[in-house]
Amino acid sequence: MACNKEFCKDYLELKPEEASCRDLFCIFYSCELENKNFFNAPEGTDTIRGFRRRWIIFASVAMQRFLSWSRIPMNSVGTKIELWLNYPSCNGGLLHLFLNLIQGKEIIRPDVKSEKFTSIVGKLDWRVDLDKTINIGATHYGPSLSIMAAKLSYENEAFTRKIITENWQMDFIKLYNFWNAYQENHSTQAIMFQDKVEDSNLVVVAFRGTIPYNADHWITDVDLSWYELEGVGKLHAGFMKALGLQKNKGWPKEIDESPDQKLFAYYEIRKELKNILSKNEKAKFILTGHSLGGALAILFASILTLHEEEWLLDKLEGVYTFGQPRVGDPQFGNFMKDKFNNYDVKYYRHVYSNDMVPRLPYDDSTFFKHFGSCLYYNSLYNGWVVEEEPNKNYFSVLWFFPMLLIAVYEFIRGFILPWTKGSHYREEWFSKMFRMVGLVIPGLSAHTTIDYVNLTRLGSVLHPPKSAHQDCLKDD
């Protein structure tokens, strides 16, 4: 859908489904790219000036085309693998399942809505309990709770409710399926819970991230489309649409709340937070998410600042993201630095080693750049506060072999860590198999929640500088 000029005067929309093979090569030499069906931007845009930028556009469109072509097989294979992985837990364990098979007894088919069914993310990292060595108020507590909440957001409602209420002894509020007006489906998920049923002091909002076999999620991650908001900067179009961008209206402060109105992530969560937090003046809330969920978490805080929601921003304890892709351009980054400084909002952007997603979409001043400090952890879980993660664009010949060596080490480490740190760091056979993918595509297996949970428990505690404009600090 073309951008409405009333809320956005400058924009870039890529429509890879309308790009032919010939169009892909036209990106490099065409003087009339604005007239192509797959490229929608104002006339005279400087987005396409220079070979480097055209190469970035080519890479984005080509990757989206490939992912679009892979959509059905990726989903089919992924859902089948997820289903197969759940057969043992739904049939009393692997041994019991095997005995039933050889004896010809009935095999229970996993129910995707049951409290025993876990996602493919849950199968990669089996841990569901909070770290009992980290108490409320401890410096590790915020990131440790946040990554576990972000991980749990991938699961179904029954499983999520069980873990929060029984294992964590907290109050489950809701699992949301939000409407995306542009995709016209409920494609955005988030969970909300609080630390106590009565007189809660902390509310957690965790956005679901990129599902490994969901091609649409990966398309969103690599898409370069953006809309520029006046006085704010350019923001990632896909992330805004997922959060609740209104067709032809952009981000009005209020929307219609009639009974038949679809639920949009930003507006519904904002309303729910106001309702819950008004009951306890001391209560705070945190925003968190892994991967795509991290982008939605920081974007949610951004729209709060856009709407000058001072009361809620004062209640915001911090934004914790893990493996988050880029969401805006340098102007947006400067806007957010100023606003976060004014409202004293803490932003903790965690990046593990060679995780490829924080390097997406491509870093460029015309397109997207991270803002604020990066809490970077290497493969030994040693951490530093840096301005930008190493190899910020991932696609580098010079970095390929170092990344490959680290992927080999990560695979071997999966066997060693349980012996040196305890059984809680055990990796199951499925996790080890996925580590092998990192030997082919370095940085992909580093994006799982396994390493992000590990770095919150084994890594040093890092804090961004008190002022977003201070020089980066190294944490010893």
d(CA 132, CA 16): 47
d(CA 12, CA 15): 10
Are 179 and 262 a contacting pair, CB within 8 Å? yes
C-alpha dist (Å) from residue 347 to 87, 172, 363, 364, 387: 40, 25, 20, 22, 13
Q: In 3-state terms, what secondary structure has residue 368?
A: strand
Of the residues 291, 353, 373, 445, which is catalytic? 291
C-alpha dist (Å) from residue 410 to 81, 302, 434: 23, 35, 11
Are 452 and 357 a contacting pair, CB within 8 Å? no
d(CA 129, CA 396): 38
d(CA 403, CA 394): 10
Burial 174-211 (b: 16+ CB within 10 A, else e): ebbebbbbeeeeebbbbbbbbbeeeebebbbbbbbbbb
Of the residues 125, 355, 364, 451, which is catalytic? 355
- Residues 258, 173, 462, 353, CA torsion sign: negative
- List the one residue out of 274, 272, 228 whose CA is nearest residue 251: 228
Whether 447 sits among the annotated catalytic residues: the reply is yes
Q: In 3-state terms, what secondary structure has residue 200?
A: coil
- List the one residue out of 181, 200, 203, 201 whose CA is nearest residue 191: 203
Whether 187 sits among the annotated catalytic residues: the reply is no
Q: In 3-state terms, what secondary structure has residue 40?
A: strand
d(CA 352, CA 457): 13
Which residue numbers are catalytic?
Answer: 291, 355, 447
